[in-house]
Structure 1
Amino acid sequence: MVIGAPPVAALARGVAPVGVPSGQRSAHERRTYAALDLGTNNCRLLVARPNGDGFRVVDAFSRIVRLGEGLGGSRRLKETAIARTIDALHVCRTKMEARGVTRARLIATEACRAAENGADFIARVREETRLDLEVVDRETEAHLAVAGCAALADPHAEGSMLFDIGGGSSELAWVAGAARDRRSLRQRVRAWTSLPVGVVTLAERHGGVDVDRRIFEAMVSEVLGHMKSFADEVGSAKRCGRFHLLGTSGTVTTIAGVHLGLKRYDRRQVDGIWMNDADVSDVIEQLLNMSFEERAGNACIGSERADLVLAGCAILEAIRRNFPASRLRIADRGLREGILMQMMDEDGVWTSGRRSHA
């Protein structure tokens, strides 16, 4: 999917990288890619250029828009949520123009899939922002998450359970083999599922402000019900050698930030760290013992996510109970990185070497 009118050629008239005259850059280096992920809760943009055997991020944007607010009850996107989202998309459009984006893929996920007025919203976005959003199916979403995170899998593991806890849905994929495996990622995904539950939908049904253990267990139980058939299908995954969990989402990065005691969230300290099972349990217990105000005051949570973080922990807890593992690796990367890698791979920007984002 490319950016809508004006043509992409017009968007390519951006600012060249500082200190590198355009005539001295290769055709691949002059290309600028953008990946946008519009979910139920967040609007995220990543702009990057090929760099060696990976890519270099030149701009990024993330804003909590809660597009799917109230969707579970009404089945429709609210006008206030639409307005917030379109405002964020205007910012994304401006950033892509400024960076001279030459190719982009802009995806929308569960909120737009589920809403009765999802198609109307997509049309309105096109009219007001001149951006063409592509509503992807759940399988595509799962595979893009795998593409964005698979490089973090233990190279000696026989398999891992990768999961992405979203706002309106959560994707899980059993990935066989390791990053050095010569099979394609699609061949290594043995099974996948998309659960019709995310942090926004779960918090709206059960409440996210005052969450006691009874409410927390009710959330876990609901997720376990959605996960049962998948767990039965891939139960052997938890018995393979050096099996581990690999998680991407605001839930797991928040847990990592709290575990590290960060005074301010720092992606460089979070992306790629390992947490053992006991440490994950300790953080969940710590969050359960916090009041809403304490969660809101935590630098790694904040007021915008204080009512959602325990719903995310409940989804994570359901995953842990179905797929016990001694280790969890944290990924502060996901769909956007998967999209960028896919586009650059299709354009042949890497001729050899391992492909991973820089």
Structure 2
Amino acid sequence: MTSLSATGAGSFVGGSAARLPRLDATAPYGARAKGVYAALDLGTNNCRLLVARPICDPGAPAESFRIIDAFSRIVRLGEGLGQTGELSEAAICRTLDALLVCRDKMAARDVCRARLIATEACRAAANGEDFVARVREETGLELEIISRETEARLAAAGCAALADSRAKSVLLFDIGGGSSEIVWLAPRNGAQEGQVRHWTSLQLGVVTLAERFGGAEVTFRQFTAMTELVVSELQQFLARSAKEERCNRFHLLGTSGTVTTLAGVHLNLSRYDRRRVDGLWMSHAEIDAVMNKLRGMSYAERSRNACIGPDRADLVLAGCAILEGIRRCFPSERVRIADRGLREGMLLELMRADQSFA
């Protein structure tokens, strides 16, 4: 598990119910580059969509795109999965409702090329493939259950542009609902992507930890137990990356609802603002302070916070425990916050495959 191989350019969206035309694979690149692209990430907790168009202006940054539509909804697809081993009917129905919204948004934007992925909940569930078939039947959308390796690679593709290019190495992490991906990245000067040196996927996420240890009210002992579990699970990856060179610019690069929530609370935002969060640098002391603040809040106080809300109030401390475990294994004086990830990685790969930036 030390290298990430490239896969294809992505799945097409098909089916008359989706009202999305199949892209003609024989069409010239120029015709394809003018299209609208979509990327959907169905995780254990969230269903998120981005619709974008490549920017071909010579004065624009290299390999950039303009987001023209977006959607995000907490669906908790993996709710109860750890106890039953299956996706529940209630979770499936919530998710189908969200996917119908995504389908209609893609149709309204005349999307011609898309990749729609499902991650840990569908990988782990005994009825994951049945769920994908039901999505196809009821929405016309073709979900692709991706591997953990692909998930780590897409996270790196989507976030690497935020890594300090002068650092010899960076630790990228993506804390999900059912799993967490960890990538040892070597940035490349002037490049949008870094070199992936090592990676791992922990079968620990905010939903799985909260269901196992508790999320609404978390004691010091519960938080410590969650953190120690993460530290234990990271030991093999820590040993593999021990010989990698670090420098005084080494830092952590985090993408997930956990880190963007921490950033929003740190900034005392009355309403979440992606423009202020994406790319924010936080020091070790600032991370400590905001995590201590969250741990001192009651469930009701977390629910009322504009950057947390009732949908995440019982998950944020599990996310903090995962982050704390990562920080203990990979100490760093600074963390960069990314409000980007798998969807951006998918969009970049699709557009590159179509030579949309040429």
Identify the residue that residue 160 of structure 2 maps to in structure 1: 150
2:300 — aligned with what? 293
Distance 2:234 2:354 in 1: 37
SS of residue matched to 2:78: coil
Given the superposition, is the C-alpha separation of residues 48 and 179 from structure 1 closer, same or farther in structure 2, using an over 3 Å criterion? farther
| 2:219 pairs with 1:212 | yes
Structure 2 CA distance for aligned equivalents of residues 179 and 48 of structure 1: 26
Alignment of 1:27-38 (within 5 A): 27=31, 30-38=34-42
Deviation at 1:350, TM superposition (A): 1.1
Give the alignment's Cα RMSD to 1 decimal. 1.6
Shift of 1:156: 1.1
CA–CA separation in structure 2 for the residues paired with 1:288 and 1:5: 47
Whether 1:78 and 2:88 are equivalent positions in the alignment is yes
Corresponding position: 1:203 with 2:207: no
Q: Secondary structure at the match of 2:234?
A: helix
Instruction: Please give the alpha-carbon distance, in whole angstroms, between the structure 2 residues aligned to 1:209 and 1:121.
Output: 29
SS of the residue aligned with 1:131?
coil
Q: Does the 8 Å contact 1:169/1:197 carry over to 2? A: yes
What's the offset of the Cα at 1:7?
9.1
Aligned to 1:88, the other structure's residue is in SS state helix
State the Cα deviation string for residues 183-232 of structure 1 (Å, max 9, x = none): x64xx100000000000000000000111211100000111111110011
For 1:261 and 1:290, how far apart are their aligned partners in 2? 15
Aligned residue among 20, 30, 39 for 1:11: 20
Q: Which of 308, 327, 332 is the matching residue for 2:334?
A: 327
For residues 51-66 of structure 1, the aligned pairs below 5 Å read 51-52=55-56, 53=62, 54-66=64-76
Match of 1:233 among 232, 236, 240: 240
Residues in 1 aligned to 2:248 and 2:15: alpha-carbon distance in whole angstroms: 51
Distance in 2 of aligned mates of 1:70 and 1:48: 34
Q: Deviations over 1:73-132 (max 9, x none)?
A: 110000000000000000000000000000000000000000000011000000000000
Deviation track 1:287-334 (CA, whole Å, cap 9, x = no partner) reads 000000000000000000000000000000000000000110000000
Hey, what does 1:23 align to over in structure 2?
A: none
Task: Quote the residue 1:50 is aligned against.
Answer: 54
Q: How many residues align?
A: 335
For residue 339 of structure 1, what is the amino acid of its counterpart? M
For the 8 Å contact 2:71–2:102, the answer to whether it is kept is: yes
| SS at 2:228 equivalent | helix
CA distance in 1, matches of 2:214, 2:109: 41
Residues 34-54 of structure 1, C-alpha deviations (whole Å, 9 max, x = no match): 000000000000000011341
- Specify every segment of 5 or more residues in structure 2 that has no aligned partner in the other structure, as ranges: 1-10, 23-29, 57-61
Distance 1:280 1:2, change over 3 A: same
- 2: distance between equivalents of 1:301 and 1:258? 8
Q: Contact (CA 8 Å) 1:237, 1:243: kept in 2 or not?
A: no
Contact kept, 8 Å, 1:173 with 1:191, in 2: the verdict is: yes
Tell me which of 197, 200, 211 is aligned to 1:193. Answer: 200
Whole-Å Cα distance in 2 between the matches of residues 275 and 252 of structure 1?
10
State the Cα deviation string for residues 13-44 of structure 1 (Å, max 9, x = none).
9xxxxxxxxxxxx7466300000000000000
2:142 is matched with which residue: 132, 136, 139?
132
Q: Distance in 2 between matches of 1:68 and 1:263?
A: 30
Counterpart of 2:8 in structure 1 is: none
C-alpha distance in structure 2 between counterparts of 1:161 and 1:28, whole Å: 35
For 1:148, give the aligned amino acid.
G
Counterpart residue identity of residue 101, structure 1: V
User: C-alpha distance in 2, partners of 1:179/1:42?
Assistant: 33
Q: Percent identity?
A: 62
User: When the two structures are superposed, what TM-score results if normalisation uses the length of structure 2?
Assistant: 0.91
Q: Report the Cα distance in structure 2 between the residues aligned to 1:211 and 1:199, rounded to whole angstroms.
A: 13
Distance in 2, Cα, partners of 1:287 & 1:236: 35
- Residue 16 (structure 1) aligns with: none
Name the TM-score, length of structure 1 as normaliser.
0.91
Q: Could you tell me which of 185, 190, 194 is aligned with 1:180?
A: 190
Q: Distance in 2 between matches of 1:125 and 1:209?
A: 31
Alpha carbons of structure 1 residues 241 and 177: separation in structure 2 relative to 1, 3 Å = farther
Is it true that 1:316 corresponds to 2:323 in the alignment? yes
Answering whether residue 99 of structure 2 is matched by residue 89 of structure 1, we say yes
